[in-house]
Structure 1
Amino acid sequence: MSLHPAFRAYLDELNPLVDQAAASGFVPTPESARAALAGLNQFAAAPIEVADVSDREIDGVPVRVYVPTPGVPSDVVYFIHGGGHMAGDLDVYDFQCRRVAAATRMVVVSVDYVRAPEAPYPCGLEEAYRVLRALPTALGDVATTGRIHAVADSGGGAKLASIAQRVARGEWESPIDRQVLIYPSLDYTMSGPSMERLGRGYFLSAERVAWYFDNYFPEGTDRAAASPALGPFDAAMPETLVIAAEYDPLLSEAETYVERAAGAGAPVRLLIASGMIHAFAFFETMIPEDIERLYSVITGYLREGEAPADWA
């Protein structure tokens, strides 16, 4: 499918501004990256009401808990936000967590893990895992079924897939039953063909991805060993749906991840969001039909383990 018309118009305006900034010598910083991601909230729709929303800590890590049906036991969705391991927080992703809670009617727990470069790899990953390990007993005042799922986007998807990777290595344990990875970052070597084919002019650039990784990883880190797309995999991994965007430089690593995981017997599926760019979930007011489709797909998968064969 061709690029969605809304994104074609958006990129036609954005790309000259990006080129102009580069020509003027603009140098990105963690602060500018965080501001840019937060700025995408301008495209969000009005916040969806959720019956009970509270900020608390789990094992010393800040989280936000969304309870759509207080007193009614429901499954729990663990949400790990993206942002290149550098940006994003509970407020930036509040709109998305509300969407997930309202659509699935499940309790959502969003984690505010530490970010790079102040806290480099694997600090944020280890914090996200600490909260996950504590989840089965951490919500004693919330009615739950005890069943835990997960949803994560972009760099959060990297963390979620990295948890599964370490479980496959026999290093960690995970209570997750089903998980949804939305346009995840899965190959820290940046070796997939879509990184070159789509790495310029489609919102997320290869140059920006490399900059994120350089800020995330301490010097000397084996990035191949840290890459979920490069394994290991096993058949005991959680049921996984990967939702990739057709015009995302991360597309091919999602395809590779699913192919290799399926080859190891893991219950994994790929759904490519046609016409979409990276981070498309932020653009609620621009692509409302696709946003409704996204949360319908998430709900169907977490509730029933079912997903459509294509995006249309």
Structure 2
Amino acid sequence: MSMHSAFREYLDGLNPLVEQAARDGFVPTPESARAALVGLSAFVLPSVADARVFDAVVGGADAVPVRVYVPRPESPSDVILFVHGGGHRPETSRSMIPPHGARRTAAATGMVVVSVDYRRSPEALFPEGLGDVYRALRDLDVVLGNVETTGKIQAVADSGGAAKVESIAMPVAAGQWSSPIDRQLLLYPSVDYTMGGESLREFATGYFLSAERVKWYFDNYFPAGADRAAASPLSGPFAPEMPETLVIAVEYDPLLTKAVEYVERMRAAGARAHLVIAPGMLHAFAFSEDKVPEAISRLYALIAEFLTDGGAPAGW
């Protein structure tokens, strides 16, 4: 399918600015990257309301801030661990970006959502942010207190956040741990830190997320000498015991090829894995509700459908 007309128009305006910045010698910094992520909030519509929202910390001495969204306090529901993306270096969950997805997920599913404010790079290098997500998952019962739940845990994560959720599944596949996550939905996930894949070459420039920016994110996430291949969820292991997974990839995304390969490897290992490719979309399209409202409606319908019932969706 051709690119959605709203994104084609957007890129026609954005790409000349990116090219000019490169000619002018612009060098990205953590501050500029975070400002750009916050700038995505210009493309989201006003967020839905929740009946109850509160902040808490988990993890004891290694405290991890979380924000909890309770859309239906009167009804016990599953709990969703929500891990936002942003190249492993987003602003905190108190910024304008992550709460939008968390609130929309809570509204669409009717489930309690716990959004994790993991530490970010380059201030906290791999695997510190990953450890924060693990501690939040481990201590969900503590943070939820008197919130009524079914006791079942699901997960929703996008991009670099999805990499963290996938990484939590790696010791499960290795037989080292039994994850409490029943189902996980991964939106345009990052699964490979080695910079491989046909789509990374095909969509290297001009498609919002560039190959150069992906490399910059990874270079700022890993300490010197880290084994990036071993850290990549795509490297495995894979096993039937992994949580049931739905990957929603996008057609015009440098990360597409490896996301598809991740699902194929899960299936080959006997794990329950499903794939949907959103046609005509760009990476991070979930923050473009004003541009592609129909796609956003379909996205949250898929999230609710999968987390409620599981199984392969009918398609996009």
* TM over 0.5, shorter chain: yes
Partner of 2:17: 17
Partner of 1:57: 57
1:215 aligns with 2:223: no
- Secondary structure of the residue aligned to 2:82 is strand
Partner of 1:181: 186
Match of 2:272 among 267, 270, 275: 267
TM-superposed CA distance for 1:135, in Å, is 1.3
Is residue 297–residue 307 contact of structure 1 (8 Å, CA) maintained in 2?
A: no
Per-residue deviation, residues 190-231 of structure 1 (Å, max 9, x unmatched): 111110011111000000000000000011111110111121
Unmatched segments (≥5 aa) in structure 1: none
Alpha-carbon distance in structure 1 between the residues aligned to 2:281 and 2:314: 16
- Secondary structure of the residue aligned to 1:9 is helix
Match of 1:242 among 247, 256, 280: 247
Match of 1:288 among 286, 293, 307: 293
Aligned AA (1:46): P
- Secondary structure of the residue aligned to 1:211 is helix
Alpha-carbon distance in structure 2 between the residues aligned to 1:196 and 1:230: 20
Is residue 194–residue 251 contact of structure 1 (8 Å, CA) maintained in 2?
A: yes
TM-superposed CA distance for 1:137, in Å, is 4.2
1:129 aligns with 2:134: yes
Alpha-carbon distance in structure 1 between the residues aligned to 2:44 and 2:227: 37
* 1:191-210 correspondence runs (5 A): 191-210=196-215
Alpha-carbon distance in structure 1 between the residues aligned to 2:312 and 2:274: 8
Is residue 81–residue 88 contact of structure 1 (8 Å, CA) maintained in 2?
A: no
Partner of 1:7: 7
Alpha-carbon distance in structure 2 between the residues aligned to 1:24 and 1:288: 35
Aligned AA (1:81): H
Alpha-carbon distance in structure 1 between the residues aligned to 2:78 and 2:313: 22
- Secondary structure of the residue aligned to 1:69 is coil
Unmatched segments (≥5 aa) in structure 2: none
TM-superposed CA distance for 1:62, in Å, is 0.3
Per-residue deviation, residues 103-150 of structure 1 (Å, max 9, x unmatched): 000000000000000000000001100110111443121010100000
TM-superposed CA distance for 1:244, in Å, is 0.2
Per-residue deviation, residues 11-67 of structure 1 (Å, max 9, x unmatched): 010000000001100000001000100100000101101100111112221000000
Partner of 2:83: 80
Per-residue deviation, residues 46-94 of structure 1 (Å, max 9, x unmatched): 1101100111112221000000011311000000010000124212211
Aligned AA (2:4): H
Alpha-carbon distance in structure 2 between the residues aligned to 1:52 and 1:192: 43
Aligned AA (2:194): T
Is residue 132–residue 174 contact of structure 1 (8 Å, CA) maintained in 2?
A: no
Alpha-carbon distance in structure 1 between the residues aligned to 2:69 and 2:314: 30
Q: What is the number of equivalent residue pairs in this alignment?
A: 311
1:47 aligns with 2:52: no
Alpha-carbon distance in structure 2 between the residues aligned to 1:38 and 1:171: 38
Moved more, 130-139 or 111-120: 130-139
Once superposed, which parts of structure 1, at least 4 consecutive aligned residues long, lie more than 2 Å away?
169-173, 306-310
- Secondary structure of the residue aligned to 1:269 is strand
User: What is the alpha-carbon root mean square deviation over aligned residues?
Assistant: 1.0
Match of 2:236 among 231, 236, 257: 231
Is residue 77–residue 150 contact of structure 1 (8 Å, CA) maintained in 2?
A: yes
Per-residue deviation, residues 153-212 of structure 1 (Å, max 9, x unmatched): 000000000110122223443100001000000000011111001111100000000000
Aligned AA (1:236): E
Partner of 2:257: 252
Per-residue deviation, residues 206-260 of structure 1 (Å, max 9, x unmatched): 0000000000001111111011112110000001000001000000010110001
